[in-house]
A and B are shown apart, each in its own frame.
Chain A
Amino acid sequence: GDSVTQMEGPVTLSEEAFLTINCTYTATGYPSLFWYVQYPGEGLQLLLKATKADDKGSNKGFEATYRKETTSFHLEKGSVQVSDSAVYFCALRRTYNQGGKLIFGQGTELSVKP
């Protein structure tokens, strides 16, 4: 079945370091891909998305490119801040009519130290 695999955390970085969180997926067809972020005590917030191969999603300095050849959607940021400390989830929506049904990875906890 469809699945999403993320690199295990926690990931600990110093402020202004470069961030990469790996995400690979298994799915038939052409899924839409998402990154969500969850801050302590809160629900998930959409960070960015890509709906077709080679699309690049970007928001708040974060970027991810939909790579169909490697079935990947790695999250990157050039310079992290303490405020980026959170849990990041990669997710896919298999087809257009799946609506609210997303398949999530296990989440990667990021801790940024000053």
Chain B
Amino acid sequence: KAGVTQTPRYLIKTRGQQVTLSCSPISGHRSVSWYQQTPGQGLQFLFEYFSETQRNKGNFPGRFSGRQFSNSRSEMNVSTLELGDSALYLCASSLGGGDSPLHFGNGTRLTVT
């Protein structure tokens, strides 16, 4: 069974640009969550989508947005990039039940210059 796939693995962008990251969940998983990982702030929850609807949201500015498609694939968009957005962005999928474990992808490393 294929795991969670995130593309691309690496991205370099310039301040002010926007970026879109993609996540393909494990087959059958309906929930996709996004996390930002930085050395200073650690792992922080961005948002979760379940059946194409945002179910939970973290404390990030509106520049960070996401969506989920009918096949459960998800995209995350960051507009007007700032240097502080440089991070590893992790996607996790689950069946979506309250006690379902999260399965993480290997992440997209975003560098903003």
Contacts and interface: CB of A to CB of B under 8 A. Distances in A.
A91 B92 CA distance: 14
A100 to B, nearest CB: 3
A99 B94 contact: yes
Contact of B48 (A45, A89, A95, A99): A99
Contacts of B104: 36, 43-45
B42 interface: yes
A8 B46 CA distance: 24
A41 B58 CA distance: 25
B106 interface: yes
A59 to B, nearest CB: 11
Contacts of B99: 32, 51, 96
B102 A46 contact: yes
Interface string A71-114: 00000000000000000010100011111111111110000000
B43 A89 contact: yes
A103 B41 CA distance: 12
Interface string B43-65: 11100101000011010000000
B31 interface: yes
B94 A104 contact: no
6 contacts: A36-B104, A100-B45, A100-B102, A101-B58, A104-B43, A106-B42
Nearest to B92: A100
Given A43-B104, A43-B106, A100 B48 contact: yes
Nearest to A6: B42
Contacts of A99: 31, 33, 48, 50, 55-56, 94, 96, 98, 100
Residue of B31, B58, B101 most packed against chain A (CB within 10 A):
B101
A102 B101 CA distance: 11
